Amino acid sequence: MAPTAKVFVAQLAGLPVFGPGGESIGKVRDIVVALRLDRKPPRVLGLVVELLTRRPIFVPMLRVGSLESHAVALSTGNVSMRRFEQRPMELRLIGQLLGVTVNLAARATSAIVVDAAIERTRSRDWVVARLAVREKTRRLVRRPPVQIVSWPDVRGLGPAELTGRSIRGSQQVIAQMEGLRAADAAAVLRELEPTLRYEVADTMDDDRLADILQELGEDDQQEILAHLDESRAADILEAMDPDDAADLLSELPPGVQERLLGLMEPEESAPVRRLLQYSAESAGGLMTPEPVVLTPDATIAEALARVRSPDLTPALASMVFVCRPPQATPTGRYLGCVHTQRLLREPPFELVAGALDAEMARLSPDASLADVTRFFASYNLVCAPVVDDEDHLLGAVTVDDVLDHLLPDNWRDEGLDEDEPAPAARGVTHG
């Protein structure tokens, strides 16, 4: 029998729970989920199980082997026997969600939550993907029918509304963001009211804030940067990728721009200043000045070690550029590039000079966005060199930089529909 992929929580209340050997453990009393600060469905953390001694304990979903209409079976008997205690940012679906009044975004009407469906995702996590609701009405003759709606289509499901507790301080928000990719953390930050958003920015470390800032729209970036004192703002700009820092600075008044550049360390501000010389809609304005650059006497093994760096995006790791010294951009004479796929086919002791693609076209720093787009489409690339008239490598344009400029200005605010696991589950033991 295929494992259950969706179940309504009202059906679970009171179901018997059995151990892996068929022994009786107790009964299901509730389902615990982790609330999120954005509108994505919360992740199911586990079950509240009442033992035969009437003690409530927490059983993580990792320990649940099957959820059926007649019983719940555990995959292991190794669970904590400590009494269940609810934590901040957690919600009990049966005890705290069912019966709550919410607003239906599409119809601007109020409704009562009568049930919630938990579903298994591709990552094998369980999330509260859908709710069963009944619209409120004053009619006495017939009750409105139950409707099934998705979690994001309902308003009034924030932590404060559901738990009666407001979010207390930036540390709790930062903990909620832990483990989120920068783009998802940016979506959380956008949803916060301004005072808390600023508090989070003040508390967060520079590298993490820089990563998140790069995923925000221009207005949000400028708002947060303006809130910071100029010394901290300069530190954040140093931690950002030079091309993203240049994009942000280009939107600021010239006086503010120059003050921030002056506060940055010279070695950090120099590549940003070079990028600011170019139009934002040109290859020079789109490029990153920090691609993987090697000299021709480097070995294939050295090149592979460089592209394995976790700090590189997949696009930048797809290609290494070979130049005469100096290796920092603008480099010595540009000789060509080597695709990572080619590196994988060559003996590790060979030199990169023997694997060069010297014929691949290159971009001029003044090439327009339309020219850059046609270049990527023509050559099926995700990364391309930007070379000046004197054969110096200035940087590399990646396909994500191009997409950022082709999409509408507010594309980040519209969100994604992909099904992703939420962050930060409870541990195996509770308490």
Residue 321 lies in a domain: yes
Q: What is the pLDDT of residue 1?
A: 42
Residue 233: C-alpha distances to residues 37, 210, 220, 254, 263 (Å): 25, 10, 14, 15, 9
Tell me the helix, strand and coil percentages in the chain, rounded to 5: 35, 25, 40
Candidates 186, 312, 188, 189; CA nearest to 241 is: 312
Residue 29 lies in a domain: yes
Indicate whether 6 and 118 sit together in one domain.
yes
| Residues with pLDDT less than 50, the chain | 1, 165-167, 415-425, 427-431
Residue 421 lies in a domain: no
Q: Of 228, 248, 277, which residue is a domain's last?
A: 277
Q: What is the pLDDT of residue 431?
A: 36
Residue with tokens 């600021």: 252
Q: What is the pLDDT of residue 419?
A: 43
Residue 175 lies in a domain: yes
Q: What is the pLDDT of residue 138?
A: 64
Residue 425: C-alpha distances to residues 5, 66, 129, 176 (Å): 20, 19, 17, 10
Indicate whether 69 and 42 sit together in one domain.
yes
Domain count, the chain: 3
Range of the domain at 358: 293-406
Q: What letter represents residue 360's amino acid?
A: M
